[in-house]
């Protein structure tokens, strides 16, 4: 069986914050590649403070009053779209959300014309999810708005990477050094894996990746991780495991013999998870396919911090929106 034809670098490589911009004053979050440890920690520290506010109940800031944000989701989403919408509301921003259905995209309008139309209505922050890698970079080059990548094809999903780091930092007592996470599954099609690898590298943690030979790009180690072929070796003494969904929507036919075989060889089971350190945690970006890449007793077990991840997602998106709007991630605290 051949390997997936996707490359380890499916979109323009480069600094996640600083793509060439149509409007140099605008701040973008396009990926975690090239983003420094200090920049990541600044966002995580701010997110931790937003989490405190959010947990206190009824918290509402008006720091982004008068700022208009648009969530342009050309692919389905639960966690990312809803948490951006909630973060915009918590920060006092005006916001609209749209996808292909119900807009003139369905009549053949180009992506750029659609988002230039939105931008012309004084929208300052555009959050975009699209199945094509590189779309957020393209928009940042042509729009007078801050662009936040909410997932572009198999390229990056930087706010997911930040919330994964925030979750791991809590589980790891704020120490990334000498920690090791095993990312298991469909590495080839995973924007989540890429953003996690870039972010974890920046903060000093070690990443091993493991999955079917057909779903691990040949040049994956150039991203900054180690490929470990056997799942038992990848998990042994790890400090965390990340399960990944099989990305059927981005996958060619024939890369897997069957889902049953995938589960047998690569599924996160209680027995496999026990190979990790006693205090190690299990994360998953969601949506989970229970019984495929992760067993229900792992997803709901004592090591799972999967729903804690989604709570952290809201806090991270508050920090990112505040940073985009003002240059200060703590501006809405
Ligand atoms: N993790 C993630 O991006 O989930 P959604 O597709 O539900 O946003």
The pLDDT tens digits of the residues spanning 53-107 come to 999 989 999 999 999 999 999 999 999 999 999 999 999 999 999 988 878 888 8
Distance 160 CA to ligand 1 centre (A): 8
Rounded to a whole number of angstroms, the distance between the first and last alpha carbons of the chain is 53
Looking at ligand 1, which residue's alpha carbon is closest to its atom 3?
Answer: 80
Distance 78 CA to ligand 1 centre (A): 6
Residue 56 confidence (pLDDT): 95
Q: Classify each residue of 240-277 as buried b or exposed e, where b means 16 or more C-beta atoms within 10 Å of its C-beta.
A: bbbbbbbbeebbeeebbeeeeebbeebbbeeebbebbe
Nearest to 149 by CA among 38, 247, 35, 302: 35
Q: Which of 74, 97, 127, 160 to mutate to test the pocket of ligand 1 (most atoms within 8 A of CB)?
A: 160
pTM: 0.94
Distance 76 CA to ligand 1 centre (A): 8
Ligand 1 within 6 A of CB of 77: yes
Nearest to 127 by CA among 194, 177, 77, 71: 71
In terms of residues, how long is the chain? 333
Ligand 1 within 6 A of CB of 79: yes
Q: Which residues of the chain have pLDDT under 50?
A: 15
Q: How far apart are CA 213 and CA 324, in angstroms?
A: 39
Unique residue bearing structure tokens 């490359």? 7
> What is the number of the ligand 1 atom nearest to the C-alpha of 313?
1
Q: Which domains are seen in the chain, by residue range?
A: 37-156+313-326 (3.40.50.1370), 158-310 (3.40.50.1370)
Residue 250 confidence (pLDDT): 66
């Amino acid at each position: 069986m051949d390997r997936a034809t996707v490359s380890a670098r499916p979109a323009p490589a480069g600094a996640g914050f600083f793509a060439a911009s149509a409007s140099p004053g605008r701040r973008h979050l396009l990926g975690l590649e090239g983003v420094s440890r200090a920049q990541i920690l600044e966002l995580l520290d701010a997110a931790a403070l937003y989490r405190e506010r959010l947990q206190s109940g009824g918290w509402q800031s008006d720091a982004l009053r008068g700022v208009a944000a648009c969530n342009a989701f050309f692919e389905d989403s639960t966690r990312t779209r809803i948490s951006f919408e909630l973060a915009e509301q918590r920060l006092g921003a005006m916001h609209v959300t749209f996808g292909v259905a119900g807009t003139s995209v369905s009549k053949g309008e180009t992506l750029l014309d659609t988002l230039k139309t939105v931008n012309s209505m004084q929208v300052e922050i555009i959050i975009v999810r699209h199945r094509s890698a590189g779309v957020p970079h393209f928009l940042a080059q042509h729009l007078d708005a801050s662009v936040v990548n909410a997932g572009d094809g198999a390229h990056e999903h930087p706010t997911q990477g930040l919330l994964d780091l925030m979750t791991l930092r809590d589980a790891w007592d704020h120490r990334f050094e000498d920690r090791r996470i095993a990312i298991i599954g469909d590495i080839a099609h995973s924007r989540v894996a890429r953003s996690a690898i870039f972010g974890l590298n920046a903060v000093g943690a070690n990443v091993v990746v493991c999955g079917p030979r057909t779903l691990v790009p040949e040049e994956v180690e150039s991203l900054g991780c180690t490929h470990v072929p056997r799942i038992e070796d990848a998990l042994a003494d790890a400090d965390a495991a990340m399960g990944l969904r099989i990305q059927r929507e981005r996958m060619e036919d024939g890369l897997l013999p069957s889902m049953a075989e995938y589960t047998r060889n690569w599924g996160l089971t209680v027995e496999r998870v026990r190979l990790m350190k006693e205090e190690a945690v299990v994360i998953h970006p969601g949506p989970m396919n229970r019984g495929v890449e992760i067993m229900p007793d792992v997803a709901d077990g004592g090591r799972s911090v999967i729903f804690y991840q989604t709570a952290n997602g809201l806090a991270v998106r508050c920090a990112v929106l505040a940073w985009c709007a003002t240059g200060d991630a703590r501006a809405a605290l």
